[in-house]
Each structure stands twice: as C-alpha cells, then as structure tokens.
Amino acid sequence: MDAWIRALVEAIHSTPTQAVLYLSGGASQALGWLISVPGATNTVLEAAVPYSRMSMVQLLGKIPTHYCSQQTVEEMALVAYNRALKLSSPGCPVLGVGFTGSLASTQAKVGDHRFHLSTRTSNRLWVSTVTLSKGLRTREQEDTISSHLLLKAIANACKVQATFVSHLTESDVSDEFEKQFSEDQELEQLINGQICFKVYPFSSVTHTSNEERKIILSGSFNPLHEGHLKLLEVAASICGNGYPCFEISAVNADKPPLSVSQIKDRVKQFEKVGKTVIISSQPFFYKKAELFPGSAFVIGADTAVRLINPKYYDGDCGKMLEILIACKNTGCTFLVGGRNVDGVFKVLEDFDIPEVLKDMFVSIPAEQFRMDISSTEIRNRIGM
C-alpha cells in the first residue's frame, strides 16, 4: 500500500462517519485498503459485492434497467445509506457508498470501459461517471484507478482534506455532479419512504460509541411534557447501558402523515430540552423492531394492552404471537410504565402476557414512575 493511501485511510478512520459499501465490477482494492488499516471498525459497518445479476436484483429489490449505470449506482448508494442508518451507532453520521463498473475482462468488450460511483449522506448525493481509454490499461490497472477514485470519494464524504493525484489521462473522460438536500427535502424523502429515518442528535450527554442499543420512547409528543422526559429517564436507569432517545413516526396507521412543518415543530421541542429524537416512517412496533433491532422500547400500559390483544391482529391470536415473536427474535424488549387504562391505573402485572412473550416485557415499578398526565389532557387544557 502506498504511503499516501495509508495516510488517507487513517484519516477516514479517525472521523465519526460510519459506512456501508456495495461494490460491483471493480474498486476491489479500495475495500482491501479500508479493511487492512487499523481502525476499520470505526468506519466500515458492512461491505458486500453484489456481483451476480441475481445478487444485484436482491440488493435493489428489482431488476435494474442497466446493471452498470448512473441510475443503478445512485440506487446502490441509497440502499447502502439506509442500511448504514440501521447499523450505525446512535448519533453518528452515516454514509452509503455504491460502485458499479464494466472494466477490462478476459474477453474484449464491445462497449466502453467505464464505472460509476456514488456516495450518499443525510444531506448530499454525489455521483461520478468515468470512461476509460480502451486498451490503455490492464484489468488490474483499471481496478487500481477506480479504487483510488472511490477512496477519494469516501474521504470527501467524510470531510477529510487530502491531496490527491489523479492517474486519469487526457483521453479518459470523467463527469460528476452532486445534489444537496435541505432539511425539508430530507423529511419529504422520509415521508415518501426513500429513507427509513432521520436522527436529530440533540442530546447534551456524551455517550460512548459502543452503546449500540437504543432505549426508545415512541409517541406523537404533541406536546412533549415532563412525564415523557421522566419516563425515559427511569427506563434508561433500569436498562443500564444504552442510548436513550425519543421517536416519532411521520406516517400514521389511521391518520394522514405528518407534514414537514408539523415534524419540524415537534422536533424543536427536543432541541429545547437537549434530547435526541428520531423521525421514522414506521407506525407499527413490529416494523420499528426491524428498524432498531436489539432496542428497548418504552411504552405505557395502555399501549401494552393493545400489543397483546388479538383484536388488533384481525382477531387472530396465532398472527399476534407470530408478529411479537419476530420482534423478540430481533432482540427487542418492552419496558412498560403504569398508565390509566379505561379510567383505572394499570401496570404490567395486571395483564395476562402469553408465556412465550413474558421475558420480552419488563415492568417499570409504579414507585419509580407514576405520572397520570397525558398529551391529550394538555391539549384540551390549553385548547389546542
């Protein structure tokens, strides 16, 4: 490995950015450089080489119009970005990287020797297309050039300043463009299902990078009140290690989705109190469990009673058990705080939890948390 490559990789590993890489048809040396330099676990969450056509189809969830194209590499980077969101440590910036190439092979190619690369962050999409002079280089040399350029793209996305010497010649053709996304555009992408969630890391508390488990209090928070803050605080003390955060689903099961302005108004509440909030597009807990595997979800007894009621699963007890066992298999648990249910204060012990699910539910003792205030009552009181 050249000294400048090692120095660049070390600089990338020193940033907080965590990445998922999907590479097909080239740039294989870049992956080797990233993995071989100490500190790779700081940067690389996952890397895959969807080389066969069926592998690419399964990655994208569809048959691409062209396997080596600008559109395909943008889609690869977006899939990688969403995957990185799910795998990353809470609050860390994430990066999705895509590469697809058609380089020199054992048989002469009719078309160009070319490759496309793309990086996707929360607020930026960058894409480059490079067409190489045919017959000028071996396959290994073309792979080296594509690896250099991919490493440079990753460094730029990680905001690493570095001197880079291009090995492209005047006969090679390179073209690139980028799109910057505003906060409103990010939230529109979330509502439309393009990205799976957005994190606002407002927490004033420093958390260690190995706190991969999230302690999540989900709700509409309209408005956020002292009871919410206290409940999450108590839940975090019961869980021990973990990253406490709030979560709002922009998409509702039985209501229209929240507008961008509504989301931003609710987010401001968390900024004021210095608490991290995640905006997702999943209203159901079994889908949240897929988004945030291994998390502890903090819920009230009123939510718990609905979770274990077959009525909410088309009256099918078997379907209920299947869905909740799938949640359990992701490593998720539910911490249950006491709430008024039909006018009576209830705790977890008041409900008949199916035996196979009992170890997934943990009670928050009433002596540690009891606050009967609700957002609905506050709205009614102030005439919202």
- Span 228-244, pLDDT tens digits: 999 999 999 999 889 99
pLDDT of 378 > 70? The answer is no
Instruction: Please give the CATH number for the structural domain made up of 3-180.
Output: 3.90.950.20
Q: What is the pLDDT of residue 154?
A: 98
> Which is nearest to 43 in space by CA: 67, 86, 11?
11
Q: Could you tell me how many residues make up the chain?
A: 384
Q: Using CA atoms, how far apart are residues 167 and 172, in angstroms rounded to an integer?
A: 10
Q: What is the mean pLDDT of the chain?
A: 92
b/e string for 110-133 if b means 16 or more Cβ within 10 A? eeebbbbbbbbbbeebbbbbbbbe
Is the distance from CB of 128 to CB of 149 less than 8 angstroms? yes
CA distance 214 to 30: 32
Residue 249 pLDDT exceeds 90: yes
φ, ψ for residue 371 (rounded to 5)?
Answer: -150, 115
Phi, psi dihedrals of residue 176, rounded to the nearest 5°? -145, 160
Short-list 318, 309, 353, CA closest to 333: 353
Place of tokens 């890397």: 47
Overall fold of domain 184-382: Rossmann fold (3.40.50)
**In which residue ranges of the chain is CATH 3.40.50.620 found?**
184-382
State how far the Cα of 93 lies from the Cα of 298, in Å rounded to an integer: 25
Residue 381 pLDDT greater than 70, yes or no: no
**pLDDT for 130-165, tens place per residue?**
999 998 999 999 999 999 999 999 999 999 987 777
Across residues 64-74, what is the average pLDDT? 97
Residue 97: the pLDDT is 98
Residue 336: which residues within 8 A CB-CB, separation 6 or more?
A: 299, 300, 301, 304, 347, 348, 361, 362, 363, 364
Say whether pLDDT at 206 is over 90: no
Distance CA 98, CA 73 (A): 5
CB 301 within 8 A of CB 350: yes
Sorted by sequence, the CB contacts under 8 Å of residue 357 that are 6+ apart come out as 308, 321, 324, 325, 328
With a CB cutoff of 8 Å and minimum separation 6, the contacts of 78 are 96, 98, 120, 194, 195
Give the CA count within 13 Å in the CB-facing half-sphere of 261.
0
Parallel, antiparallel, or unpaired: how do β-strands 339-341 and 277-280 relate?
A: unpaired
* 258 CB burial (10 A radius; 0-12, 13-18, 19+): buried
Place 383 in a pLDDT band, splitting at 50, 70 and 90.
low
* pTM reported for the whole predicted model: 0.91
pLDDT value, residue 373: 61
pLDDT at 180 over 80: yes
The residue-averaged pLDDT of 2-25 equals 96
* C-alpha 93: how far from chain center: 10
pLDDT digit string (tens) for 289-338? 999 999 999 999 989 999 999 999 999 999 999 999 999 999 999 999 99
Q: Collapsing DSSP states into helix, strand and coil, what is residue 283?
A: coil
DSSP 168: -
CA distance 72 to 100: 8
- Residue 368 has phi, psi (to 5 degrees) of -90, -30
Whether the CA torsion 128, 133, 134, 136 is positive or negative: it is: negative
Q: Which residue has the tokens 């807990």?
A: 285
